[in-house]
Amino acid sequence: MDNSLPYERDLARYKIERAKEELENANLLYENERLKAANNRAYYSIYYSLTAVLCLEPVAFKKHKDTLAYFNKNYVHGGKFPPEIGRAVEKAAKIRHASDYDEFYITSKDEAARQIDTAKRLIDLVTKYVEKAAN
């Protein structure tokens, strides 16, 4: 049963659009071999997708790690999203952190492509989840 208000569903849809925009940015950066930046934008696509789901409760966190932990506990472990997406999200967060803060971190095209794939798969899953919740 959907207990969210129309505003919360609209906010969730807005967050999905932000996720799609960041996915487009990740693809552009990837195509131009800006792989660390592509990892960053793919992660933010993932993050906006997660916050879209949380908008329906509504719940929000100041720290990304809290958002990820809450999503994994309540939505992955709760059976609403597959376990492999939870693992992929955790890996994306680690890779984004390394890409942004470890000056000696070397990423590969394959790794960046996996990050982008994770973002795309999550957008698809979250879009279906939000639309199902809205009906």
Q: How far is it, in rounded angstroms, from Cα 131 to Cα 135?
A: 7
- Over residues 45-101, the pLDDT tens digits come to 999 999 999 999 989 999 999 999 999 999 999 999 999 999 999 999 999 999 999
The two tokens of residue 101 are 């803060």
Mean pLDDT of 119-134: 94
Q: Are 70 and 37 in contact (CB under 8 A)?
A: no
Predicted confidence at residue 95, as pLDDT, reads 96
Residue type for position 22 = E
- Please report the pLDDT score of residue 1 as a whole number: 38
In three-state form (DSSP H/G/I as H, E/B as E, the rest C), the secondary structure along 13-25 is HHHHHHHHHHHHH
pLDDT at 4 over 90: no
Confidence of residue 6 (pLDDT cuts 50, 70, 90): confident
How high is the pLDDT of residue 19? 98
Segment 21-41, tens digit of pLDDT: 999 999 999 999 999 999 999
Quick one: how far is CA 19 from the chain centroid? 7
What amino acid is encoded at 78 in this protein? G
Alpha-carbon torsion 16, 17, 23, 25, what sign?
Answer: negative
Answer yes or no: pTM beyond 0.75: yes
